[in-house]
Chain A
Amino acid sequence: MQLTAIWRRFTRQSLRASLESIALPAGAVLAALMIFGVFCALAGANPLAVYGSIYRAAFGSWSAWQNTLIRASPLMLTALCTALPARLGLVIIGNEGALVVGGLAAVSVGLGLGGSLPGGLVLLAMALGSLVAGGLWIMVAGALRHYRGVNETISSLLLNYIAIALLNHLVQGPMRDPAFVSKPSSFEIDPSAWLGTLPATRVHWGLIYGLVASVLAYVLIQRTTFGFAARTAGGNVRAARIAGLPVGKLTLAVCFLAGSCAGLAGMVEVAAVQKRLNESIVSNYGYAGILVAFVARHNPLATVLVSVLLGGILASGGILQRSHNLPDATVLVFQGIVFLCVLYSESLYGRFPIFQEREVQTEGAAVAG
């Protein structure tokens, strides 16, 4: 009784509602594992052995955990690019493009300042550059939506392709390092401005960026007047306008914040992983982030968990090829099945009486009486 009251106070929903929002996705993942098991069996592999391999490669050891976390950190950031505008009722899928322009801005700043200033300052400037570039990029989609009524899903999708074309143009031409022959790339960032790893790990600081951004986003959306205004406008635009909320400014601000998160993911990728700019930055973290956001139901803390789960699945890609003779794409199939099942579970909310609010009250009354 008291426990449920404390729970309600912190989560602002009943214990049963919280259990429902944990049990349904967990059930969906289990169902996905079963479907994937049948798929593996048909492909001639032992499903249990495949599960074991995925688990070991994703979460089986400290080393596996580090691989998972390295992949999870950009996902946390790109997921926010969809999750934040979703609270305002906008479906933004320009994560990949914002990530690319963020990386582009970070490399430009890093190449301009690298070596002349202390590494920490250069990193700060790179991060700021990526935040602004990614933010402005998605703000374009928000502004087009608000001032011209252009569908934000389509415009942000188009902006992805424009960003990638811009990237290709710059690394093939103006920014190209002629000495680097394996693929057209920019010059390398000065080593003093590389993003280091956390003490005693291989995991780079991007993980902390991702965690901090997620917590900040959660607080902003759930615990501030700004977040309340955004959620109100997302629930009912007309009511929000009548209440005098500045819907246009809210749209621009939320889109800017969303884009800046994805832009920061681009900075993390170039400063910690790639060290120079080339097409490798277009690695589907953006599109995967969209799914993370939907699966996490646009809750900035749940995106952290889903990112780690997906990071684990991504980290297990190579092992299936090596130990079960399954193609690399097996992991894509698994990812697809998991997401389809979790999206289906969305339609099951409220269908199971055991999770319903009303019963909690009668139960509580019975206990109190």
Chain B
Amino acid sequence: MATEALGWWGVPLGILAGTLRGSVPFLLVSLGECLTEKSGKINLGLEGTLLIGAMSAYAISYLSSGIVGPTLAPWLGVLAAGLAGMGLGAIHGWLSQQPRVNDVAVGIAMIIFGGGLANFFGKPFIQPQAPQLPTLPAGGWSSLPQVQSALQVSPLFLLGVAIVPLMSWFFKSTRWGLYVRAVGDSPDAARAMGISIFWVRMAAIVGGSFLAGIGGASLSLFYPGVWTERISSGQGLMAVALVIFARWQPWQCLWASLLFGGAQALGPAFQSVGIDSYYYLFNAAPYILTLVIMIITCSPKRTLAGAPGALGKDS
């Protein structure tokens, strides 16, 4: 750890660095899930989408580095991850909209299916080293090498941050954003407007899966920067909780992702200064936090403020 020589200053630095690294997949997956849920469907299968995104990105980056060079290769990987995610999203979008088919069950089947495909095709890529995405040094102002090495910003993080105002504007001020909200809040009204519920939801789910696939790419091409079969540790499932936490608002998704990424960094940061007896309990911090906030903000008398009206209802 870069924080060893800094003593107690290492704790906030470690948390900051861990937040910058750990919040990237949360941000992209939660924005994807936000788009999906705004249309009134839940996609629990984003865990599988993350895995297939991570695998595709790593594999394409490795395979294409000989042809297009190591600078362009990881970007091709990111694109491949998004496309692979869209493939899984299309299956989910079609299947979860069939009559009497429960979207939670389809999501869990998609976790198994997507994870299986990722491990099936990813087996040859566990050993080799693929070219990684470049990082932007945010610690250049400091003379301390620990600070410089800790503060690395991924371009995918910036991409996610750039999507936040775009998505917010999309929902608020565009015709298509209105369609998505109408389908999610009141399918009957949407039908009366002449909107195809099926295709709007399909587009929202496929688009959300594209973002989740890129979130997977951030795992294998930025941090931790390898491809292993267990690279996603529940971030895809947690995104569902995170979107509820964020009240289906893109801006809130950003703050929530930073909070979740930071909460994940608590354990390692305290471990680096010798406090490791509660390391594993710190790992539970994001989940307990979400649960507590849900308990405080929910009420049996009304649904959650901001929740799409048709969410979780059978179509």
Q: Which residues of A contact B (CB under 8 A)?
A: 43, 91, 93, 144, 146-151, 153-155, 157-159, 161-162, 165-166, 168-169, 172-173, 287-288, 290-291, 294, 326-337, 339-340, 343-344, 346-347, 349
Contact residue range for chain B? 35 or more
Cα A335 to Cα B294 with chains together (Å): 34
B91 at the interface (CB under 8 A from A): yes
Cβ-defined contact, B241 with A158, below 8 A: yes
B244 within 8 A of A: yes
Chain B residues within an 8 Å CB radius of A326: 120
- CB-defined contacts of A149 to chain B, threshold 8 Å: 298-303
User: B283 contacts the other chain (Cβ, under 8 Å)?
Assistant: yes
15 A–B pairs (Cβ distance < 8 Å), ordered by A: A144-B298, A150-B291, A150-B298, A154-B290, A166-B281, A173-B280, A288-B112, A290-B105, A327-B119, A327-B120, A329-B229, A332-B116, A339-B112, A340-B110, A344-B95
Flag if A347 contacts B240 (CB, 8 Å).
no
Q: A174 to B99, alpha carbons, bound, how many Å? A: 50
B140 close to chain A: CB less than 8 A: no
Contact B298 A166 (CB under 8 A): no
Which B residues from 117 to 142 make CB contacts under 8 A with A? 117-120, 123
Q: When the two chains form their complex, are residues B109 and A343 in contact, meaning their CB atoms are under 8 A apart?
A: yes
Question: Of all chain A residues, which has the CB nearest B104?
Answer: A91
The reply to whether B240 and A346 form a contact with Cβ atoms under 8 Å apart is: no
A148-B295 CB under 8 A given contacts A154-B241, A340-B91:
yes
B113 close to chain A: CB less than 8 A: yes
Contact (Cβ within 8 A) A329 B241: no
Q: Is the CB of A291 within 8 A of B109?
A: yes
Contact with A along B228-241 (1 / 0, CB 8 A): 01000010011011
- Which single member of A93, A332, A346, A347 contacts B119 (CB below 8 Å)? A332
- Specify the main secondary structure of chain A where it touches its partner: helix
Chain B residues contacting A161 (CB-CB under 8 Å) are 234, 238, 284, 287
- Bound state CA distance, A148 and B288, in angstroms? 16
Q: Is B279 an interface residue (CB 8 A)?
A: yes
Is B79 on the interface with A (CB-CB < 8 A)? no
- Verify if B1 is at the interface (C-beta below 8 Å from A): no
Query: What 0/1 readout, one digit per residue, does chain B (297-315) give for beta carbons within 8 Å of chain A?
Result: 0111111000000001000
Closest chain A residue to B281, Cβ basis: A169
Does B173 lie at the interface of the complex (its beta carbon under 8 Å from any beta carbon of A)? no
Residues of chain A within 8 A (CB-CB) of B6 are none
Please, which residues of chain A bring their CB within 8 A of the CB of B312? 151, 153
* CB contact between A327 and one of B109, B123, B238, B279 (< 8 Å): that residue: B123
Q: A332-B113, A340-B91 are in contact. List 12 more A-B contacts (CB 8 A).
A: A149-B303, A157-B241, A161-B284, A165-B281, A169-B281, A290-B105, A327-B119, A329-B116, A335-B112, A336-B109, A340-B95, A340-B113
Residue of B nearest to A332 (CB): B116
Asked if B111 is at the interface of the complex by the 8 Å CB criterion, the answer is yes
Instruction: Closest A residue to B294 by CB, please name it.
Output: A150
In contact, B280 and A344 (Cβ under 8 angstroms):
no
User: Does B85 have its Cβ within 8 Å of any Cβ on chain A?
Assistant: no
CB-defined contacts of B102 to chain A, threshold 8 Å: 91, 294, 343, 346
The contact string, 1 if C-beta is below 8 Å from chain A, for chain B 215-252, is 00000000000000100001001101100100000000
A115 to chain B, nearest CB (A): 29
Q: Would you call B110 and A329 a contact (CB within 8 A)? A: no
CB pair B104 A153 closer than 8 Å = yes
Determine if B106 and A340 form an interchain contact, defined as CB atoms under 8 angstroms apart: yes
Q: Is the Cβ of A172 less than 8 Å from the Cβ of B298?
A: no
